[in-house]
Structures are given as C-alpha cells and as structure tokens.
Structure 1
Amino acid sequence: MTTLDRTSTSTLPHLRPRRSWVGVLVGVLLVVLALTSLFVGVSDVSPASVLTGGPDSDAAFLLVASRIPRTLAVILVGASLGIAGLIMQMLVRNKFVEPSTTGVTEFASLGMLTTMVFFPGLAVVGKMGVAAAFGLVGTWVFLRVVRFVPVRQLVLVPLVGIMLGGVVGAVTTFFAYRLDLLQSLGQWSQGSFATIMQGRYEFLWIAGAMVVVAWIAADRFSVIGLGEEFATNLGLDYRRVVAVGMLVIAVITAAVLVTAGMIPFLGLVVPNVVSLIIGDNVRRAIPWVAGTGAVFVLACDLIARVVRMPYEIPLSVIVGVVGAVLFLWLLLRRGSRAH
C-alpha cells in the first residue's frame, strides 16, 4: 500500500459520517429540485392538470416538449461542467481554474463566430465540432502558458487564464462588431435555458458521455494531479492522459456553449466545495461533483425563473453572482487546501 493509499484510508473513518449525510442531502435536493423544475413556469403545468387532462392535453404536451427537456438539460450542464472544472484543476494542479477562467470558453466562442462567418448554414453538430476544436486549442494554449507560472502562485494562474480569455474575447467581440454579428454571438454566449425544448438539448448527452470517460480515467487524473514527474515515475503516459483530459474539457465546453451558452464559475466552485467534504480523489469525487453541480444549476435556474415571473433572468447572471461570491470566499478563506 502506498503512502497516498494509506493517507486516503486513514481519513475515511473520519470523513465517512459527514460524507454519508451530505450525500443523502444532495440526492434528496436533486430529486426535489428536478420535480419542482417540471412544474415551475408561466404556463399552467401542474400534476393535477396533467392527470386530469390526459396525455393529449396542453399541460402534458408542454411537460414532454419543454419542461422535461429543460430539466434534463439543466442536470446535464451542471454535472458535465462540474466535471470539466475538476479535470482542469487536476491538469493544472490549481484549485482556482475552470474553462471560463482559463480562456477555453472564449476560444470556443471564437469557434462559434468562425462558423457564423465562413459556414453560416452549418448544422448544430458541425458548430459544436468547430467550437470543440477551438476549445481544444484554447486548453493547449493555456497549458503551455501556465508552464511558465510558478505552481505555488495560486492566484496568478487563474489571473493568467482570465487575461488570456479577455484577449480572445476582445478579438471575438471586435470581429463580431465589424461583421454585424454581435447580436447573433450574444445569443450563443448568454447562458440561458429559456429556449430549451425537445430537439434542442440532445447534444448535451455527448457531454454526459464525456463524464463517463472522465470516470473511467479518474485514477489517472488523480495521479497526474500530483505532477508530471510523479506520474511518469509510476509508468503513466502523462501526455496521453493530458490529451484525454483536454478532449473531455473541450467537448463539454462546446456542447454546453451551443446548447445553453456560457455558464461562469460553475466548474470552479463545485469541485472546491466537494473537495472540502471528501478530499481530492477524482474517482470518489466525480459522482459528488456531478450531483452537486446539477443541484447548484437547478437551484439557480429556479431562481432565474421565479424572481421576475413571468419574465426570466438569464441563468448566467444568477450563477455568475453566486459563483463570484463563492470564488472570493475560496480565495480569502484561511487554511485553503488549494494546490
């Protein structure tokens, strides 16, 4: 048994009671919020109206065509973005990074603009492919840049990513403005589930498949989180695992972008909260991150729907405000466990 295994095993008895009740709480909240999401909205869709109206009623049609797809989309986005943030933190060995703070989302948006200019009639799957390719390039660029940043400078790494994303975002906005595509780009980049319905969310299942890939490679991600030299000494193909992680991050980011838009801070906050509860083992953390991310986005989506009903606030606004507050707390709290 290695030192890492002994350390993990020795902490299990102390953490197990807390993990148990928090896990039950997350599961209950997920079920309750998902059921609530099905029946919250401007149109009258309630269990009574669905049961009394039958399968051919307007309430049943809205439930199947809009409410169920929207709820599934929210769950998939919350789970997959949380996993993308967790993997990004393992690759960079820094707890304060995620796709929206490393320029990956901005690179994917640049890919979306490229499809609007050169391939305006491209199908959604094609747009997602181009956005994923640009997101992959963005992940690679960030990882190359961050090699020159001292690992111990915790706050400096996300600042570099934010600056990189700011530059790419400014370039994207400039060309979108010059080509009169700023409004079209804004529709893709603003995070919202208001337009989600049957036939408009299915690409998020690809992001869900990437979560499965991440779970299969979870132990390898845990090892590379300890450093390249350590992983190489254990016989792990470091570059291959990093390439898999980059692919997972890029595909998740692209799938979420073309379906729901940009959702900031989610991949940063959720893995850090989970890490405080169960530690940094990726395989053990993935179900927790997926469930907590889904609960977080479901709660924010419900707030966005009810605060100004019958109008709806963009989800990115709610997630951005809550996520920014939690991000500041993570930065300022004492005894941070970030790498």
Structure 2
Amino acid sequence: MSTATPAPPSTARRLRGAAPLVLATLGTGGLLLLSLTVGVYDVFGGEDGAEMFGITRIPRTVALVLAGAAMALCGLVMQLLTQNRFVEPSTTGTTEWAGLGLLVTMILFPTAPTTARMAGAILSAFVGTLVFFAVLRRVSLRSSLIVPIIGIMLGAVVSSVSTFLALTTDMLQNLGIWFAGSFTSVLRGQYELLWIVAGVTLAVFLVADRLTVAGLGKEIATNIGVNYNAVLLMGTGMVAVATGVTTVVIGALPFLGLVVPNIVSMFRGDDLRSNLPWVCLLGIAVVTACDLVGRTVVMPFEVPVSLVLGLVGSVVFVFLLLRQRRRG
C-alpha cells in the first residue's frame, strides 16, 4: 500500500509563512475591487458605463497601487538611511521641495509640458533631501525626535518660500491644488507617467541588501566594502523620483511612508528583505482605504485623500511618539 511522501519540514514552514502574505494580498485585492465599484457614476447601469469604467475607474485604481507602494517604500528607504523611524518625505521636507520645484518650473516656463514640470520637481526634491542629510551631519542628535523636527522645520521654511512665490505670481490656488493629494483628476491619458514609480519600487527590491548595510551606519558599511555615499545618493535619488512624480500627478500623500513601515516593523521585526512585500501591500491598502473613505463620506463630493491620510497618519505618529517615550 503506497503512502504519500510528506513535505519536508522546511517546505511546510515556508508554506505556513507564506499564508499570511497570501491573505494580505487577497485582502488588498478586495479593496482594489471595491475601489472599481465605488463612484458617483453608475458604470454598471449607465449608458456609457463601460467607457467610463476604462477612462476613470481602472486608471484610478492603478494609480492607487503605484502611488501607495512607491511612497510607502520611500518612507522605508529614508528611515534606513537616517536610522530613524520618524522620517519620511513629508517629515523631511522632501515633499515641500518637490512642490517648490514644480512651482518654479511653472513660473519660469508657463507652457512647460508635464514631463518638464516633473523634472523640476524631481531635481528640487533631490537637492532638498541632500540639504536635509547635510544638516543632519552637522547637528548633535541627542534624541531620535530631533531628526523629524529638523525635517519639519526645513519643510516649513521651504513651504513659506513657495507660498510667497505663489502669492507674488498669483498662483496660490494652484499651489493649494498641487498639495491637496487627490486621485479625482486621475484619468486615462493623464496618469501614465506615474508608471515611473513602478521602476523605483523595483529598484528598491533589487538594492535592498545595500540599503540594509547602509542603514547600519557609515563605518560598518565601509568596513564591509559598501560605498556608503554612493548608496546614500542612490537612495536619495529614488526617493526624489518617486516623490516628484507623485507630487505632480497626485499631490502630497502625508505620513504614508511613516505609518506603513512602522506598522510592518511592529508586527514583523526589521528584516528588510522579507518586509518589502508587506510594506508595498500595506501602503496600497492604506491609500485605497483612505481614498474610499474620501469618496463616500460626503458623496457625491470627494474629500482629498491627503486629508484622510493626514488625520490617520497624525494619530499614528502621536502613538509612535508615546510608544518611543515609554521605551525611554
């Protein structure tokens, strides 16, 4: 009588370990399917429902996936490079620098195409992030809270400069629209440049090991044989590209890169390589859930997703601060 050969223990453990990730993927997929069905226009019973589904619902859902995954990973990369859990593009001034670059590009070249505006935002975000790192090297960091405080202060200064320029050039309303992160304007033919951040997401997966080593500090990275400065520039470049593209196409998504990596780390530890899929999935899920809330809370009107994210993120930020304080 033949009996089935049992799977090796290592294989069984891998299967059990993959089950939560599969469930999380299915849950995130359910949110995305729900996003395809929620909206003011009846795409299932309307006369032009199928056409509207392809023009608005599918691009919006794809944008949720791309922006959510990329900005969550950006927060993780910045936390590694600064060795601080309280940083992400909106707490280091990177988002404000991207907005300033976009504004300056629009002032100097009013008829500039979207790609030119994006290039200006990316370049400004890259320079601004380097400025942030330069300031950190010259400040005595006695507490982990000093890092986000410095970033928020720098961001406030940059935001003031942007507001002054917008006032003097009668572009204050445009500035407000750019920083109000929303997926309302995502339509077919207007969001495709957002696929650039998919390349950033893939790049983070490919260089995860180097980022991990760089996160141990300059001395350890150099002793192992990793060029710390090169990895720092590479990480800064990836964050700048993702932040610049997302700011131009969607707007600001505050606290996303802060909340998601910290929640994943609380439940799964600090293994970067195994946490990357979880950070992507949770980033997509958080953005999609906040977007669904924004679409339904005052229907038929929409609340910008940045407002919902800011509310949720600020609560989690305070929770993390109190948790850090309890740990001393």
CA shift for structure 1 position 248 = 0.3
Question: Aligned residue for 2:69?
Answer: 79
Alignment of 1:274-285 (within 5 A): 274-285=264-275
CA shift for structure 1 position 277 = 2.0
Q: 1:18 to 1:160 in 2, by over 3 A?
A: farther
Q: Residue 99 of structure 1 aligns to a residue in which SS?
A: coil
Partner residue of 1:223 out of 213, 231, 234: 213
Alignment of 1:203-218 (within 5 A): 203-218=193-208
Q: Answer yes or no: is the 8 Å Cα contact 1:232–1:238 preserved in 2.
A: yes
Alignment gaps of 5+ in structure 1:
1-11
> How far apart in 2 are the matches of 1:216 and 1:183?
40
Partner residue of 1:141 out of 131, 147, 170: 131
Question: Deviations for 1:56-88, whole angstroms, at most 9, x for unmatched residues?
Answer: x51110111100000010111110000000000
Question: Aligned residue for 1:310?
Answer: 300
CA shift for structure 1 position 257 = 0.3
Q: 1:336 to 1:138 in 2, by over 3 A?
A: farther
Q: After the TM superposition, list the runs of 4 or more consecutive aligned residues in structure 1 that deviate by more than 3 angstroms.
A: 15-22, 149-152, 334-338
> How far apart in 2 are the matches of 1:99 and 1:337?
25
**Which letter does structure 2 place at the counterpart of 1:167?**
V
Question: Deviations for 1:181-238, whole angstroms, at most 9, x for unmatched residues?
Answer: 1011222111001111101111111011101111111000001111000000000011
Q: Residue 314 of structure 2 aligns to a residue in which SS?
A: helix
Q: 1:23 to 1:337 in 2, by over 3 A?
A: farther
Alignment gaps of 5+ in structure 2:
1-9
Question: Aligned residue for 1:114?
Answer: 104
CA shift for structure 1 position 285 = 1.7
Q: Residue 310 of structure 1 aligns to a residue in which SS?
A: coil
Q: Answer yes or no: is the 8 Å Cα contact 1:210–1:251 preserved in 2.
A: yes
Alignment of 1:1-339 (within 5 A): 20=18, 22-46=20-44, 49=45, 58-333=48-323
What RMSD in Å do the two structures reach over aligned CA positions?
2.0
**Which letter does structure 2 place at the counterpart of 1:266?**
L
CA shift for structure 1 position 295 = 0.3
Give the percent of matched residue pairs that are identical in Structure 1 and Structure 2.
Answer: 47
> How far apart in 1 are the matches of 2:230 and 2:50?
48
Q: Answer yes or no: is the 8 Å Cα contact 1:18–1:277 preserved in 2.
A: no
**Which letter does structure 2 place at the counterpart of 1:175?**
L
CA shift for structure 1 position 24 = 3.4
TM-score normalized by the length of structure 1: 0.89
Q: Answer yes or no: is the 8 Å Cα contact 1:149–1:157 preserved in 2.
A: no
Q: 1:38 to 1:336 in 2, by over 3 A?
A: farther
Question: Aligned residue for 2:7?
Answer: none
User: How many equivalent residue pairs?
Assistant: 317
CA shift for structure 1 position 335 = 7.9
TM-score normalized by the length of structure 2: 0.92
Q: Answer yes or no: is the 8 Å Cα contact 1:19–1:277 preserved in 2.
A: no
CA shift for structure 1 position 103 = 0.6
Question: Deviations for 1:137-169, whole angstroms, at most 9, x for unmatched residues?
Answer: 011000011113344511111000000000000
> How far apart in 1 are the matches of 2:288 and 2:167?
33
